[in-house]
Amino acid sequence: MKILITGLCLQGNKGGPALAISLMSQLRKIFPGARFVMSVPSAEFSLEVQWADRVGVAVVSDFSHLDLIAYLFRLPVKFKKVRVINWLIELKDAELVVDLSGVSYVGPPAGTTKRVLLNGRFKYFLFSRLFGRPFLAWTQSYGPFSNALIRYIAKKDLSALPVIMCRGESGKSAVEQLLPRKAVKSYPDVAITLDYNPDRGRKMIVDAGLLSGPLATVSPSAVLYSKSGDREGLNQHVSDMIWLCEYLVSSGYKVLLVPHTFRSQNHDPLKCDYAVSKEVYEGCVGVTEKISLVEGDNSAAELKSIIANAKVHVGARYHSLVAALSSGVPAIALSWHAKYQDVLAQFGIGNYVVPLSNGREFRSRIEVLLRELANEYDDVAGMLVRRQKELVIEVDRNRDQFLDSYKQITK
């Protein structure tokens, strides 16, 4: 059986491989011997191929709407018609298309209508329909369905699924309001099952020079960087992260910055967490001996292995939080989307969320949550371990539900 997986990547944003590796592990349990081809972004495609070789999966380059226009109208332009041709070959040969876009149909102000129409999951759904390929979506986040066009195309896609599987209660609620007669269920993020090696992570921490004392890991985000204005000549997100690192040091922690997006060919802080983290690190001028930065292009499993050694994690990148919570590390989320609230709520700590806000509100909220966590630490850490065991069982149920949906659409 050949399965085309859409919506993910294998490099750059480490949430992509964390999901892809975990998803393929689950799919192999219900489709033994399945062959996978991943549709990955065309940007930095050579790096996608390198990571695909490490993971052991075939890849095909995704295509843009401009590639498609060049293909349809036979235009002699720079856009690569061959991307469309190669992608359609893989689609036609696939017996099942499985989408895991992470977050789909995100309307304004969190997302843009243009992106939803041209670059998101709707494209994969539409082409699967045009070429008669079975299409299913693994559990992911949805919404906000904030305008009529996004609601319309989301209905077209979601109403065709036997069961809509949502990553948390806020997405489930949004889908139920959009399609009140559909079966909708909530399951955990499949990446909670990603394997990791704490001993490997501990060695990487030692190599970073943080040898003793309780460790706090921090994951800044290019997304929050792009959503934050400047304050006194410095990006607000960077300013907040500098304050956070210094506050953690003053509270007795060693701090390790763990970027979850690394773009080796483009260290732009609007796209690369490493670039944001580097600005934060360089801004912590008074405490550099107690702060370090994870360097290089590491795997999702390696980053999880590092975070697993922390006493506390503060994450602005979603899958850094998944890594922390699923390895039993209490975490505080810096949120721009309801998915952050969802994942912490599934682990029983839905109150440990800091919404996008100005510097004063951010700092006040962080101080309150860190004090609460210090007072409740053992209870929180114990609950995370118990919830992880329960949520892994939910992932098994998610897999069974997916198989049942596959049987329904192919009978």
Q: Is the confidence at residue 211, as pLDDT, over 80?
A: no
Distance CA 332, CA 103 (A): 20
CA distances from 348 to 369, 381, 388 (A): 15, 11, 10
Q: Where are the domains of the chain?
A: 2-192+391-410, 194-386
pTM, two decimals, is 0.94
Task: Indicate the CATH number for domain 2-192+391-410.
Answer: 3.40.50.11720
Q: Is the confidence at residue 410, as pLDDT, over 80?
A: yes
Contacts of 81 (CB under 8 A, 6+ apart): 67, 70, 71, 74
Omega cis (within 30) before 220: no
- What is the tens place of the pLDDT at every residue in 78-131? 668 889 999 999 999 999 999 999 999 999 988 888 888 887 899 999 999 999
Q: Is the confidence at residue 303, as pLDDT, over 70?
A: yes
Distance CA 156, CA 123 (A): 12
Q: Report residue 231's pLDDT band, with 50, 70 and 90 as the boundaries.
A: low
Domains 2-192+391-410 and 194-386 belong to one CATH topology: yes
Distance CA 2, CA 173 (A): 33
Tokens representing residue 37 in the block: 């081809």
CA distances from 249 to 103, 254, 326 (A): 34, 6, 25
**Model pLDDT, residue 232:** 66
Task: Indicate the CATH number for domain 194-386.
Answer: 3.40.50.2000
**Model pLDDT, residue 78:** 65
To the nearest whole number, what is the mean pLDDT of the chain?
93
Q: Is the confidence at residue 75, as pLDDT, over 90?
A: no
**Model pLDDT, residue 221:** 96
Distance CA 69, CA 52 (A): 28
Tokens representing residue 351 in the block: 């109150």
Highest mean pLDDT among 61-70, 136-145, 204-213, 350-359: 136-145
Q: Report residue 21's pLDDT band, with 50, 70 and 90 as the boundaries.
A: very high
